[in-house]
Amino acid sequence: MLTHLTIKNYALIKHLEFAPSANLNVVTGETGAGKSILLGAIGLLLGNRADSKTLWDENEKCVTEGIFEISQYGLNDLFESENLDFQNQTIIRREVSPSGKSRAFINDTPVTLDVMRKLGSRLMDIHSQHETLELGNKLFQLNLVDSFAGNKELKKTYADCWKKYCDAQQAFDRLNTESIALKNEADFVSFQLEELVKADLKEGELEKLESELKIQEHAEEIKTQFNSIIEQLGRSDYSVASALSAIRTQLQTIAIYSNDYQNLYQRIESARLELTDILQEIEQAEENIEFEPLKAEQVRERVSLLYQLQHKHRLQDVSQLISLRDALQLKADKTINLDELLKQAKQEVIQTEKALSKAAKNLSQSRQKIFTPLTKQITLLLKELGIPNAVLSVDHSIITPGVRGIDTIELLFSANKGVSPQPLAQVASGGEFSRVMFSIKYVMAEKANLPTLILDEIDSGVSGEIAIQLGNRMKEIAKRHQIISISHLPQIAAKADAHFLSTRITGKPDP
């Protein structure tokens, strides 16, 4: 439960220290005095959106800090899962800078807002006036039923089954759409694939063929040049090889006189040996040159085919043609196996649909089981709260499975004897709405293990003896839960273990 709350620089609050009782706390004050602003500040501790526009002084940061006694509420696992140090006296702090940047801390450890929300949802339940308005909403009513029935695990199971079913159905639909397209273009794919397979493509082939074709087309010129080079390097009496040999002999005779001469001799010898290797390679290359018209034509035709395929498919090289061939092969294989793939996808849809149906049935049965006890408890409370002829029932229908199950429900209400119950949103007055909502909170408090319940003007539209009864019920809940109630009623304030007055003091700094 909340043992101490500090609020600095938030909306109308410059600095507030709030130490509530462990039981029933009532906050009263004139309209506009800032009672509900307290809820906004507490909401920051629950991970609600922060806005720099709510700062009291726009040049200073806002700090909201709550100290909670949590030893009795089994939160050790949550702290362990989020890698936080568990402390019986846990401090939750939220800071909002003038730039709008927000930071969150639990026991001085920085955390994400998601972690703050997880912890906050286990510590507090805030009822707002907006929530009372939502009471007429069917989704709100369905969530109420699930909360009363304790359907958290059943809802999770159903949500998992719903996702798997949707994924399977989408996969089947995609495959079915793809299969139509594949079948329509099957002949074209087959023709293109056959052409590329027949071409027997190889990586780097075109570059080699282009080089070979150039050699074939200039074979005579290349052979002539090689013969001339061989003649100059080694065959003639005045060849380079002969000259180097003569120079080598001359240097050899004087190398004994100096290390420098010896080095020159070694370099000439290296050059002579390198020249001998070069000459042998050139002679071998010259011998390999042979103009073959038939081979040249075959190479020319192959190069032309590869160019045509690249141009046809608007690709830059043979590597891309190979990638296209492989992609077409995958399409062709998939087309061949389409029926089997569709059969498998359909089977997955059927299996996930069966699991979904089972999960939906279990969730629906759990919901339906509590319709009578829920409405009975609320009706009894409404009678105690001054609606003696109150009738509350649940209109329930089974629908096609959806994201929240197969149930649609609506709370039907009648406050007058002999009048058939109608949708709550259409027939309940403001005071009746408040009493219905309070009765729901009262009943849900019995189900929840929440330390603190915060009620924002849940007594709206109520007065006199009914307000006294409402206060008695709050007092009863406060034996098991800490209650912080914002109220205008003296009857409620009179029941408080701690009563706080909210007063607006002028002096806010100029904007």
DSSP codes of every residue in 388-431: TT-EEEEEEEEEEEETTEEEEEEEEEE-STTPPPEEHHHH--HH
CB 10 within 8 A of CB 94: no
Nearest CA-CA partner of 406 in 461, 365, 463, 372: 365
Q: How many CB atoms lie within 10 A of CB 289?
A: 18
Query: What is the chain's pLDDT, residue by residue, as a tens digit (511 residues)?
Result: 899 999 998 888 888 899 999 999 999 877 666 677 888 888 889 888 877 777 888 888 889 999 999 988 888 888 998 889 899 999 999 998 888 788 999 999 999 999 999 898 888 888 766 565 667 788 888 988 998 898 989 999 999 999 999 999 999 998 888 777 766 676 666 777 777 778 877 887 777 877 777 777 777 778 888 888 888 887 777 788 888 888 888 888 888 888 888 999 899 889 888 888 888 888 888 777 777 777 777 777 787 888 788 888 888 888 888 888 888 788 776 766 777 888 899 999 999 999 999 999 999 999 999 999 999 999 988 888 888 888 999 999 999 999 999 999 999 988 888 888 898 878 767 777 778 888 888 888 777 667 888 888 777 777 788 888 888 888 888 888 888 888 888 888 899 999 988 877 655 544 4
Looking up tokens 């000459």 gives 279
- C-alpha dist (Å) from residue 387 to 379, 428, 433, 439, 495: 9, 11, 11, 12, 22
Looking up tokens 């029932």 gives 393
Q: How far apart are CA 311 and CA 197, in angstroms?
A: 17
DSSP codes of every residue in 25-55: EEEEE-TTSSTTHHHHHHHHHTT----GGGB
Quote the longest CA-to-CA distance of the chain: 139
Give me the domains of the chain, ranges plus CATH numbers: 1-127+452-459+482-511 (3.40.50.300), 188-336 (no CATH)
pLDDT of 370 reads 93
pLDDT of 473 reads 84
Q: How far apart are CA 5 and CA 397, in angstroms?
A: 45
Neighbouring residues of 303: CB distance < 8 A, sequence distance ≥ 6: 206, 209, 210, 213
- C-alpha dist (Å) from residue 178 to 133, 174, 186, 187: 48, 6, 12, 15
CB 394 within 8 A of CB 369: no
CB 31 within 8 A of CB 59: no
Q: How far apart are CA 27 and CA 38, in angstroms?
A: 10
pLDDT of 272 reads 86
Residue type, 210: E
pLDDT of 115 reads 92
- β-bridge partners, 453: 125, 483
DSSP codes of every residue in 466-500: HHHHHHHHHHHHTTTSEEEEE-S-HHHHTT-SEEE
Q: How far apart are CA 52 and CA 33, in angstroms?
A: 21
Q: Which secondary-structure segment (H or E) carries 454? A: strand 452-456
Q: How many CB atoms lie within 10 A of CB 459?
A: 24
> 452-456 and 124-127: which strand pairing?
parallel
Q: What's the Rg (C-alpha) of the chain?
A: 44
pLDDT of 19 reads 93
Q: Which two tokens stand for residue 283?
A: 């002679």
Sheet with strand 391-402: strands edge to edge: 391-402, 405-414, 422-423
3-state helix, strand, coil in the chain (%, to 5): 60, 15, 25
Looking up tokens 């159905």 gives 169
To 5 degrees, how large is the angle CA 65–CA 71–CA 72?
Answer: 120
Q: Which two tokens stand for residue 51?
A: 């806005």
pLDDT of 229 reads 84
pLDDT of 130 reads 58
Neighbouring residues of 101: CB distance < 8 A, sequence distance ≥ 6: none
Nearest CA-CA partner of 130 in 433, 412, 408, 409: 433
